Amino acid sequence: TSDLDDGETALFFASEDDEALAERILWCIYHRKEAKAIGERSYRIYEEKYSMEVFSHNLLSEVNRILTAAVDLDENKKEINT
């Protein structure tokens, strides 16, 4: 599922659709409070799931998982060969 929801955590418009982009920009100008809330919700999602801190943590966890599996596999091979 996507973390982005039009009007809740993002403002969508079709690629290369200048008019739709202009409409979204105008909407933000005339609805500053709502636009700010959308931005704040989006930033919370970024912080919780996509920040460098989260990325680093997830990457290190995955590397550790792979290395642990490799060590376990190597130890099992040694036990079988002895």
- Distance (Å, rounded) from C-alpha 24 to C-alpha 11? 7
- Distance (Å, rounded) from C-alpha 58 to C-alpha 35? 31
pLDDT along the chain (82 residues), means of 10: 89 96 98 98 95 96 94 77 68
Here the tokens at position 52 are: 């460098």
The answer to whether residues 10 and 4 touch, using CB atoms and an 8 Å cutoff, is yes
Q: What is the pLDDT of residue 1?
A: 58
Q: What is the pLDDT of residue 13?
A: 96
Q: What is the pLDDT of residue 73?
A: 80
